[in-house]
Amino acid sequence: MKKIFLFSFLFCLTAVARQHGVIYGVDNRHELYEVLDSKIIHLARSTVAIIPSELITVGNSGTAVVTTHKPKDNNICSDEKFANQGAAADCTGYLVSSDIVVTAGHCIESIKECKNSRFVFDFGLYSPNDTYYKIPIEKIFDCSQLLYTNNPELTKSGPDLAVIRLTNRVDRPPLQLERQTTIHENDSIFILGHPLGLPLKYAGEAEVIKVESKSTLRCNLDAYRGNSGSPVFNARSYRIEGMLLSGEDDFIEEKGKCSRSKICNPGDSCEGEEVLRVSEIIPYLP
């Protein structure tokens, strides 16, 4: 599949990346300040941006500045949604206990990559005027241990999963994993993550389109590269049903022109986004 490299100097830090990203019908990605459901905002606080350390500069005022780049500067059409917004995250992760973050294995493949990444909470717009690229240092965490990592594209087995212990405990509630009920086709879901490395976005109005296996689901989530590792929630219980891994090509590049998001409409031959089921994650948690 074709890969769109938003920040070429960033992506050289990642050995292997899984391709995904497409819009299903209408683009349902929204800023956090547009979300009226307070429960979703609460969940967003425990979702984390995984950003290369070299993009974060810590000043003397107790605030760090994140260096960002706009998707439009990488041949993405300037009228695409969020094309003019600054982006920095390589992947998304989420808090499952006070010092444990989970993400996709292809996002963090080694302890070196883990140590070269920073885990940033609240990289998003909770109000229209938020300066999301200025982050209080108490919201930025480092990798202490890489408890588990596996990229099945390299190992040919096991879940695409990384489990990281942070250097310090995080003073916010961990997200709840669904441990009791079983998800079914047509169940409503939503996602929180960093598509294209952008500030945190909510994308809802989605559902499970296929229970592919005991390990994976296929879902019509509006997601892009950068959403790897994003938690996928049951829209009724607000618990995590899985984690986004990969899917359709992000963009269609017109010859000699800019790149536009691929659109999948009902009846199109789109497989859906691949989601690792939560039952495949739980056994690897401490």
For the residues of 57-96, what is the DSSP string, one character each? Answer: EE-TTSEEEE--B-GGGGTB-TTSTTTTS-B--SEEEEEE
Residue given tokens 């909770």 in the structure block: 126
Higher pLDDT: 270 or 71? It is: 71
| Exposure letters 137-174 (e unless 16+ CB within 10 A, then b) | eebbbebeebebbbbbeeeeeebbbbbbebeeebeeeb
Residue-wise pLDDT for 78-119, tens only, equals 988 999 999 999 999 999 999 999 999 999 999 999 999 999
- pLDDT at position 253 is 74
In a domain, 268, yes or no: no
How many structural domains comprise the chain? Answer: 1
Q: Which two tokens stand for residue 247?
A: 């899917």
Q: Which two tokens stand for residue 258?
A: 């800019």
In a domain, 259, yes or no: no
What is the pLDDT confidence band of residue 22, given thresholds at 50, 70 and 90?
low
Predicted confidence (pLDDT) at residue 227 exceeds the cutoff of 80: yes
Q: What is the DSSP string of 93-125?
A: EEEEETTEEEE-TTT--SHHHHHTEEEEE--S-
- CATH number of the domain at 47, please: 2.40.10.10
Q: What is the DSSP string of 202-263?
A: EEEEEEEEEE-SSSEEEE---EETT-TT-EEEETTT--EEEEEEE-S-SEEEPTTS-EEE-E
CA distances from 238 to 137, 190, 225, 276 (A): 29, 9, 23, 17
Domain, as residue range, for 81:
40-166
Query: Distance (Å, rounded) from C-alpha 286 to C-alpha 282?
Result: 9
Query: What value does the mean pLDDT take over residues 154-172?
Result: 97
- pLDDT at position 51 is 99
Residue given tokens 């010859």 in the structure block: 255
- pLDDT at position 268 is 72
In a domain, 150, yes or no: yes
In a domain, 205, yes or no: no
- pLDDT at position 256 is 72
In a domain, 77, yes or no: yes
Predicted confidence (pLDDT) at residue 193 exceeds the cutoff of 90: yes
Residue-wise pLDDT for 113-140, tens only, equals 999 999 999 999 999 999 999 999 999 9
CB of 27 closer than 8 Å to CB of 99: no
Query: Distance (Å, rounded) from C-alpha 141 to C-alpha 118?
Result: 6
Task: Say which residues have a Cβ less than 8 Å from residue 61's Cβ, sequence separation at least 6.
Answer: none
The reported pTM is 0.90
In a domain, 232, yes or no: no
Average pLDDT score, the chain: 90
CB of 16 closer than 8 Å to CB of 109: yes
Where is average pLDDT lowest: 20-29, 236-245, 254-263?
Answer: 20-29
Predicted confidence (pLDDT) at residue 211 exceeds the cutoff of 80: yes
Predicted confidence (pLDDT) at residue 12 exceeds the cutoff of 50: no
CB of 218 closer than 8 Å to CB of 273: yes
